[in-house]
Structure 1
């Protein structure tokens, strides 16, 4: 019996070169554990917002910025209310660091880089 694929939601994550190297080390299938000063993992809900962060913040702070795109099981994401972190389109999910392993287990497919800024 074939299992029907579960519906997924597309998320984006703006990131710098250090975090991106850690994702590569995890075979593009998971996000690395948060550092002690990073209690929350923030994937975002739209590509334009991710581009702005990668281009305007990551480049300034680390010389390069990347936008990644990945799919997560929609049903699993229902536990994280959408957070409006500013304007109407500045939408994030706030995943507590201690839940990141479980979050990673619900990623479908691989994490891919869709934009790069230097």
Structure 2
């Protein structure tokens, strides 16, 4: 089957509707979808994040023969609400959430001890909360409050074994991304949840600014050794 991959930016309310439908159907409203992930990310970050506090990029596959009945303008398809049930019947697989972007973290929640580049990123117009990068890497970034909760859950012995630690993200599983704040600039290190100390970590970037540049470009991937 000849499939076309489409991308669509949505806000929290529409994403909840898609999730409630088992990730197999769009709500019956006019639907716009683009051939460009970058274009969808721009809409998510510039339209939905300011308006709704979060914006999401989704992707789905549709047979080309279905789309051929609709004109495409600047890489975008517009499906009338009355045709959306037919579109849903043609979906080849599930709708997938690829990226989650969030509104700025308030200044009073940003620890001055954190690197300026990290604080600036979280305080910027939108930041990547979690998602799949172009490298195939799944990345999860943590606001300060959530990072503090993770450190508390990690336990005092593990925290004590990593003096100067600040957690900023992870892979959604057993690996954390952490900063060693004893170093200036602090490197971004991968720390496994059973790590016995800094000597067992793996460097992911020499500093936060270079790490974030790769995240925004979609080129970051975990280095395992």
Query: In which range does the TM-score fall when normalised by the shorter chain?
Result: 0.7 to 0.9
Q: Does 1:56 pair with 2:69?
A: no
* Larger of the two Rg values belongs to structure: 2
What root-mean-square deviation, in Å, do the aligned CA atoms of Structure 1 and Structure 2 show? 0.8
Q: Distance in 2 between matches of 1:33 and 1:25?
A: 14
| Deviation of 1:98 (Å) | 0.5
TM-score for the superposition, normalised by structure 1: 0.84
Match of 2:31? 41
The structure with higher relative contact order (CA 8 Å, sep 6+) is 1
| Deviation of 1:33 (Å) | 1.3
| Deviation of 1:41 (Å) | 1.1
| Deviation of 1:113 (Å) | 0.7
TM-score for the superposition, normalised by structure 2: 0.45
Where does structure 1 lack aligned partners over 5 or more consecutive residues?
1-5, 35-39, 85-90
Number of residue-to-residue matches in the alignment: 102
Paired residues for 1:2-81 under 5 Å: 6-34=1-29, 40-81=30-71
Match of 2:105? none
Q: Which runs of 4+ in 1 moved over 2 A?
A: none
Q: Does 1:94 pair with 2:89?
A: no
Q: Distance in 1 between matches of 2:57 and 2:23?
A: 13
Deviations 1:17-68 (A, max 9, x none): 000000001100110112xxxxx31011110000000011100010000000
The one of 63, 87, 101 equivalent to 1:103 is 87
Q: Distance in 2 between matches of 1:24 and 1:30?
A: 9
Q: Determine helix, strand or coil for the equivalent of 2:34.
A: coil
| Deviation of 1:107 (Å) | 0.6
Q: Does 1:112 pair with 2:96?
A: yes
Q: Distance in 2 between matches of 1:65 and 1:50?
A: 10
Where does structure 2 lack aligned partners over 5 or more consecutive residues?
103-225
Q: Distance in 1 between matches of 2:46 and 2:73?
A: 21
